[in-house]
Amino acid sequence: MKRTVLGLAAALSLALAGGAHAQAYPTKPVTMIVPFAAGGPTDIIARIVGDHMSKTLGQQVVIENVAGAGGTTGITRALTAAPDGYTIAMGHLGTFSAAPATYPGLKYDPINGMQPIGMAGGTPILIVGRKNLDAADLKAFVAAVKANPDKFNEAHAGLGSVSWTTCTLFKGILGTPKLNAVAYRGTGPALNDLVSGQIDFMCDQIVSVSEQVKAGTIKAYAIASAQRSPALPNVPTTTEAGLPEYQIEAWNGIAAPKGTPKEAVDRLVDALNKALNDENTKKRLLELGTVLPTAAERTPDGFAALIKRDAAKLDPALKAAPK
Amino acid sequence: MDMFSNLALGFGVALSLQNLALCFAGCLVGTLIGVLPGVGPIATIAILLPITFGLDPTGALIMLAGIYYGAQYGGSTTAILVNIPGEATSVVTTLDGHQMAKQGRAGVALGTAAIGSFFAGCVATLFIAALGAPLTKLALLFGPAEYFSLMVMGLCFAVVLARGSILKAFCMIMVGLLLSTVGTDLETGQERMTLGFAPLADGIDFAVLAMGVFGFAEVLRNLENPEARDVVKTKIGRLLPDWNDIKQSVAPVLRGTFIGGILGILPGNGAVLGPFASYTLEKKIAKDPSRFGKGAIEGVAGPESANNAGAQTAFIPLLTLGIPPNAVMALMVGAMTIHGIIPGPQVITKNPDLFWGMIASMWIGNLMLLIINLPLVGVWVKLLQVPYRLMFPSILIFCCIGIYSVNNQPVDVAFTAMFGLFGYLLIKLGFEPAPMLLGFVLGKLMEEKLRQALIISRGSFMTFVERPISAGLLVVAVVILVVALLPSINKKRDEVFTE
């Protein structure tokens, strides 16, 4: 019944060529599932973007935090919901690109089984080491790790986390997949042990580590993106530092269940783009150290391509990683 | 001095209109539940946890902290007027406080308790402010091995200091540790002890366990008690102690503050021990010990100060190391995590406004409590007459709504109900649920730290003994366990707790 009404509404609004109509999607609040706890980086981005999307959609975007299993619990719930445009999810690199290779029993398929909406923001990844490591630059560090993988300890925020995913890729590229990895509950405690020199290195988002790098309590070897970051202009890119294969970014993006009506998808894409073009929203995202997505990445096709590309990049390393 | 500029920042945060209101709300609720016997701060904080989601973390923690130390004040009112300890820490106050009330000096007893608590609260606030930053630096010496050993020591303290049998306390901590292992393994992603049941994949939710075992179970337990409350019939009398009372109380307040403050830092609920230690000390050094138990003002002033000082210094291990020393602090860990703040040494650098704001709010809260408690004491006495049949259904419904709103999962409510029954069973069998909650919270951290330490040491258990700080902490743990188990001391411990 509900669906017929919706279908009717969709047909009607199509007939009106996108003109505003009282019956058009959305007629009730849209639930955006955030698969992590409130207050985390994904949650904050979802709230900032969702806030502005509410204005464009004319309906409240309600954030619902469904945390668990590296974010896959929430994404599973969102993608198995009715494909009516009223349930969407804010996922990230881990839940959309890395999860299939990380969790063998995964109940959703981010490549063929969902409707991407668009990317909301990206965060560069940094390779950081404890401040008294001998290696002065990335080349020396890579050489030292390759020569003596048994001498190093890497920290990450648990299986499936961004730090685990990106560092597993790093170790895959170095050919040292079995290097000692120490799991922490979140990157905060991991960083703490890096500062106190209990562990040797980690890969993490620039937002979490930039303060410590600036304070000189940890060493930044390289940033795994194409350009240097204005937040840390002295840190070379991996290409400059001699490891061009290691390029990865932690991004966040919105997806809906497969089969969501095109009209709803278009409205959501439009709302996302309006949010990302809004000066105030932009400012709030940039303050977080977020890199705004390119025009292509803000579309369903561009976002799908990104998911696919990173999945292909991560797959071999993740499958080879000891779990 | 850094400390003062930091405190200035803290007062800036705490004096915002919203935070003042939250601090006041927390203190008011704290006093309320402190006054009402049966509903403790653990249950209340567990119940109110979900409604703090909409607040910013600083405000939320300011309010929750207010409930905690507010309950310490309120607890003494009930202890003095009704001879029922509103809180575990005000047990000692009933001894002399209620006697004073019977002699028509209820007001003086209440006044002394409030003023002593206020003084202790102020000193403890300065103490936290002074110790916070250096301790955070010390935390950098702490690797996974040291954290693990510190928690082992904390749990040993919790066993020794728990009320009732050592064996029972030990069992409860073990149950807590076991419950904490349910869920997805951090290192491998394997599901453990979930019986293939999806809602258990992330482990047992802390709020669910806390609310069930404390909220629901407390209500069940109270339902079987007949509603007989012997409120003092005589006049409360003048509130301010006279010159003679002050002269008698000054030294006990100072000693109580010191003892309570030091014991409060101890992991494993040392704060509960403060009032007992202070009372014993006052009795021992008094010229005429026979006055105790018959309305000696020192027996109110000392323990009440100790109680409040300990309640506040208990925040030190939480704020600096991220390790909760007792069940209420364990709830604070839950509250911080829900708001995306990982408790630990990084809080002071990453969230200085939260750290110092909370400390400043404690002083403001103490001042508020002085006002809430003294002139308004008549209101609280009236409150003691609210019938349970009105109070308990509302608490239960509030619990259910709260627990549902944590994860929007109906199954959580069912789990809470189950834990409620389980908690009731524990109370009936004479097991204290508080050590279980502490074990549950520390269990996750302990497992994580144990495994991290072992991974870093490539599997060698010697790492815990080879590292000096870790070895020292383990030695302390062994010593307190052995000492507590020695027959002579064990007997004395029983005396302290039954007194």
User: Where exactly are the structural domains of chain B?
Assistant: 2-142+198-431
In Å, what is the CA distance from B59 to each residue of B52, B324, B356?
Answer: 8, 20, 12
B62/B357 Cα distance (integer angstroms): 8
Per the structure block, which two tokens stand in for B51?
């409604």
Are B144 and A323 inside 8 Å of each other by CB?
no
Cα B406 to chain centroid, rounded: 22
> Looking at chain A, which residue has its C-alpha nearest residue B139?
A196
- B41-48 vs B388-407: helix axis angle to the nearest 10? 50
A71/A41 Cα distance (integer angstroms): 13
Are B143 and A193 inside 8 Å of each other by CB?
yes
Are B140 and A195 inside 8 Å of each other by CB?
yes
Are A38 and B448 inside 8 Å of each other by CB?
no
Q: Output DSSP code: residue B175.
A: H
Per the structure block, which two tokens stand in for A18?
């996108």
Asked if A135 is an interface residue toward chain B (Cβ–Cβ < 8 A), one would say no
Are B456 and A198 inside 8 Å of each other by CB?
yes
- What structural domains does chain A harbor? 2-123+251-320 (3.40.190.150), 124-241 (3.40.190.10)
In Å, what is the CA distance from B231 to each residue of A273, B84, B299?
Answer: 66, 10, 21
Are B201 and A153 inside 8 Å of each other by CB?
no
Are B345 and A323 inside 8 Å of each other by CB?
no
> Looking at chain B, which residue has its C-alpha nearest residue A183?
B187
> HEC profile for B479-495?
HHHHHHHCHHHHHHHHH
Residue B59, pLDDT > 50, answer yes
Strand-strand pairing, A30-34 and A61-65 = parallel
Q: Which of B67-71, B273-277, B301-305 has the highest mean pLDDT?
A: B301-305
pLDDT band at residue A130 using 50, 70 and 90 as cut-offs: very high
- B contact set with A (CB within 8 A): 53, 57, 139-144, 184, 186-189, 198, 201-202, 322, 337-342, 344-346, 349-350, 407-408, 444-445, 448, 451-452, 455-456, 458
CB atoms within 10 A of CB B283: 20
0.80 surpassed by pTM: no
Cα distance between the two ends of chain A: 46
Q: Residues of chain A with pLDDT > 70: what percent?
A: 91
Mind telling me how many Å the CA of A183 is from chain B's nearest CA? 6
Are A323 and B201 inside 8 Å of each other by CB?
no
What mean pLDDT comes out for the span B10-23? 90
CA-based nearest residue to A268, from A41, A80, A19, A86: A86
Min mean pLDDT across B121-130, B229-238, B476-485 is at: B229-238
Question: Mutating which of A63, A196, A201 best tests the B interface, going by the most B Cβ atoms within 10 A?
Answer: A196
Complex-level ipTM beyond the 0.85 threshold: no
Are B346 and A70 inside 8 Å of each other by CB?
no
Are A159 and B341 inside 8 Å of each other by CB?
no
pLDDT band at residue B461 using 50, 70 and 90 as cut-offs: very high
Q: What single-letter amino acid sits at A138?
A: L
Q: Is the CB of residue B330 less than 8 Å from the CB of residue B336?
A: no
Are B189 and A159 inside 8 Å of each other by CB?
yes
Are B57 and A39 inside 8 Å of each other by CB?
yes
Question: Which one of B141, B144, B346 has the shortest CB-CB distance to A188?
Answer: B346
pLDDT in tens, B384-400: 777 777 777 877 887 78
pLDDT band at residue A18 using 50, 70 and 90 as cut-offs: very low
CA-based nearest residue to B362, from B304, B434, B302, B314: B314
- What per-residue string of b and e applies to B260-270 under the rule 16 or more CB within 10 Å gives b? bbbbbbbbbbb
What mean pLDDT comes out for the span A204-225? 87
> Looking at chain B, which residue has its C-alpha nearest residue A321?
B188
Asked if A217 is an interface residue toward chain B (Cβ–Cβ < 8 A), one would say no
Question: Mutating which of A65, A161, A193 best tests the B interface, going by the most B Cβ atoms within 10 A?
Answer: A193
Question: Which one of B142, B445, B455 has the shortest CB-CB distance to A180?
Answer: B455
